[in-house]
Structures are given as structure tokens and as C-alpha cells.
Structure 1
């Protein structure tokens, strides 16, 4: 890993662990650090400060419109159920919500159905 990718991946891994996401394992995707659920990638570091997160297309469009300072896409991700997240801007609470949503998208149906996300306090 280069640049701040080490710290970025440590943060993402810590938040996924704190959220209690089951069956998560580190891996790689396109040569970058990734988290997988049952062998399926749900998030990966694109480059230092940028995370690729799996996301339903409808949700992606809404999130990018509501918070373009946090979420965006490049031409490469248009029409694909993934978006980019600015790690240096997003807070831990919002990032945890994105990790849980991405995990739910890729986890086997039964595993996702049995997972209860921890309550996250709102300011």
C-alpha cells in the first residue's frame, strides 16, 4: 500500500469490525486492499483518500446529489452499483452506515437477514 492507504484501510477495517459485520475478511481487488463478505468484495481502497463502496444505483444517485462533498463517481463507475467516497471528509458514523449498506448488498441473503446493525447515536 502507498501513501495513506495503510491508514485508510485500517480505519475502514476498524469501523467494519466495530459494526459487527459477520464473515468479513481482508483481501485485494484490482491490486488494492479490500474487504470481502463470503469472498465478495464490498469495499476497496481505490487510492489514498478514496474508497470504492458498493451501492444500489438508486441510492447512489440520491447520495451523490445530497452530499457531493462526500460521494461521487467517475465515468468508469457510471451505471455501476458502486460509488466513490472521500475518506478525508466523511465522518465515522456516515462511513459506518455506508459499510453496512455495502455489506448488506454483497452478503448472502440469509446472513444479511440475520444481521442487526448496532444503534448509532445521532448528534
Structure 2
């Protein structure tokens, strides 16, 4: 996955997924509950992967060249992922895992319009 378009194309092949928006940016969500599991990052050459905190810690420790964070993501169940990785299969596996975790959650609450 070299960029957002190729990542999104892969993520949309997973079951029950749809393109959408998350915090104002492009995202791929679970269609049945509206939960985003990948979204475009503000950081250059990376996307945001929403994943449980335990897996996040393992990813940061075992492959910091691919999985990283800024202070903004510390303490949150999300990690930045560089598109340019030496292990694209692992990234695909983590995207699939993130989709499965998001699918297991309750539907997100709609945002109030102000």
C-alpha cells in the first residue's frame, strides 16, 4: 500500500465496509455500525489505524519504522502507519484486525449538529 488510494482499495475489499469521513477526513468504516478503522492521517506519508492498545504497543515495539505515533495519539487506541513499509503483509493483517475489532463494537453515536 503506497498511498491512501491503495490502502482504501484494500480496506474496501473487507466485509461490511464503506468509505466515509472521520474527524473531517477520509476514512473506511464498518458499514453496519459506522465505526472507522482506518483514516487518512495529517502526518505525511502515514494513515491512522484504530486498534486496541495492547496491539498498538506491540506494533510500536516490534516495528517502529512502520508503526509510530505523535504525542497526539499517546493514550489512544490508534497508531500511525507509514505507507512505505518493508512488511506490507503485516500492515494488511493489522488493517483486517482493526476492521474485525471495529465490527465487534456497538454502533457509534451520531454527532449532534450545532
Q: Same fold (TM over 0.5)?
A: yes
Structure with the bigger percentage of helix: 1
Matched, 1:103 2:99: yes
Instruction: State the superposition RMSD in angstroms.
Output: 1.8
Map 1:1-123; keep pairs closer than 5 Å: 8-17=3-12, 20-38=13-31, 39-47=34-42, 48-108=44-104
> TM-score, normalised to structure 2's length?
0.78
Q: Which runs of 5+ in 2 are unaligned?
A: 106-114
On the 8 A contact 1:15/1:92 being kept in 2, the answer is no
Q: CA deviation at 1:13?
A: 2.0
Q: Residues 86 and 46 from structure 1, CA distance in 2 versus in 1: closer, same or farther, beyond 3 angstroms?
A: same
Stretches of 4+ moved more than 2 A in 1? 89-92
What residue number does 1:115 align with? Answer: none
The alignment of Structure 1 onto Structure 2 pairs a total of residues equal to 101
